[in-house]
Amino acid sequence: MDMVSEKSALVTGSAAGIGRAAALAFAAEGARVVVSDVDIEGGEQTVAMIEERGGEAFFVKADISLPEEVDALVARTIERFGRLDCACNNAGIEGKILPLVEQPLDNFDRIIAVNLRGTFLCLQAEIRQMLKHGGGSIVNLASVAGLIGFPGLAPYVASKHGVNGLTKNAALEYGKQGIRVNAVCPGGVDTRMLDSLAEQATGGAMTTREMMNPLHPIGRIGTPEEIAELIVWLCSDRASFVTGANIPVDGGFVAQ
């Protein structure tokens, strides 16, 4: 039996990268999927990929930093599927690599607005619906930068530490009502975000893999599909005793 058969799943930031891989994995494991992103073309491509493989999905454009758009996103989910069983709060941005005192305030504000405020707003809207239907499972996308510091990335690090904190609190507050909340903390993963960070860090002097592979004890960066495997498992009944966890999926990065 598929891990999330007959369940409905919402994945933010699913026009590419880890979000797209998660949406595809949810569909492959039997879920009906809501694909959401600010990137309309990429989101619709994700839906098409799911449908080509025999799954069911639809796209909703939403900026998760805006409460009205988050509420509309969850409302559309309920309108289409009748309930919300699984949610993956993946949407996020990386911002600029600069020392803390040189970070522009607008860069800090935008990263916090999307990564932390956006996750908070999604949690509120998702939990409200899950409470009406007897529970559910939520996975927030944090980062190894939510577990340790990274010079040059203070706003991003702060936002992801915040996501891990929100995850713990939500798990504590709603566990007895059947809602599990966990965070996944990826290391370096083959995505456009990592390419952007590598480009900023080296000025193009090194490829993403040249820069990042040696930093991981396993000897390589991860794939979006490897992160998606854990996301879907956490949302399934197979993870029924797992909540409030901030789980690194990082090729051993934070074990160093």
| Catalytic residue ranges | 156
* Length of the chain, in residues: 256
Angle formed at CA 126 by CA 91 and CA 189, multiple of 5 degrees: 25
Distance CA 36, CA 42 (A): 10
Provide the 10 A C-beta neighbour count for residue 75: 13
- What does residue 125 show for φ and ψ, rounded to 5 degrees? -65, -40
CA distances from 242 to 2, 101, 171, 183, 228 (A): 19, 39, 10, 11, 17
